[in-house]
Amino acid sequence: MEHIIDLLRESSALLEGHFLLSSGCHAERYFQCARLLQYPDRAEAALRDVAERLKADMTAGKLAFDAVVGPAFGGIIVAYELGRQLGLPAFFTERDDQGVMVLRRGFEVRPGQRILLAEDVVTTGKSSGESAAALEALGAETAALACVVDRRAGGEALPWPLYAACRLEAANWDPASCDLCRQGIPLVKPGSRRQRLG
């Protein structure tokens, strides 16, 4: 795990300050994994152990999946890299004009097809859940979730097995009780999901 943290730091992907997360929570740390994933060699290194654990569990009969799907934007490169290392197709879900996660661009899933979801960072699992719902509405089954950083506060339960390259807890606050807001530290929204500040 330490080598993943080193990769995040070397890539300036571990930020500190006052951030608005896509979950609506406020946090003192933000993981901008795009800064890590822009380097193919670092993306490969960061996800190598995850891919090896997935392969081992597939070989042992503990897990089975046929494709890797990542929610846009954070999961696209993670899904691609895991698909490449595992020798499986990889594609992505994205939000439509109403903000609903959907499968487009000619990507298809078959009824009963087993899916590995892939994310850059898991905080609450909301984006993964939205992707899973979109895929399951088309008949697919969600087998597991893989990510670079598991930053769930308190390790909230997820409905699937989680394969994370590293686990780093970071304090999260409801906006109404945010210590950083009380200190007057400016709020920054670095993520891709549309959200209003204030």
**Looking at the domain that runs over 2-182, which CATH code has it been given?**
3.40.50.2020
Confidence of residue 195 (pLDDT cuts 50, 70, 90): very low
Give, in order, the Cα–Cα distances in Å from 159 to each of 47, 125, 132, 148.
22, 9, 10, 18
Name the one residue in this structure whose structure tokens are 């595992």. Answer: 86
In this structure, what are the phi and psi dihedrals at residue 18, rounded to the nearest 5 degrees? -135, 110
pLDDT at 23 over 80: no
Contact 169, 122 (CB under 8 A): no
pLDDT at 197 over 90: no
**Domain definitions of the chain by residue range:** 2-182
Encode pLDDT of 95-152 as tens digits.
999 999 999 999 999 999 999 999 999 988 889 999 999 999 999 999 999 999 998 8
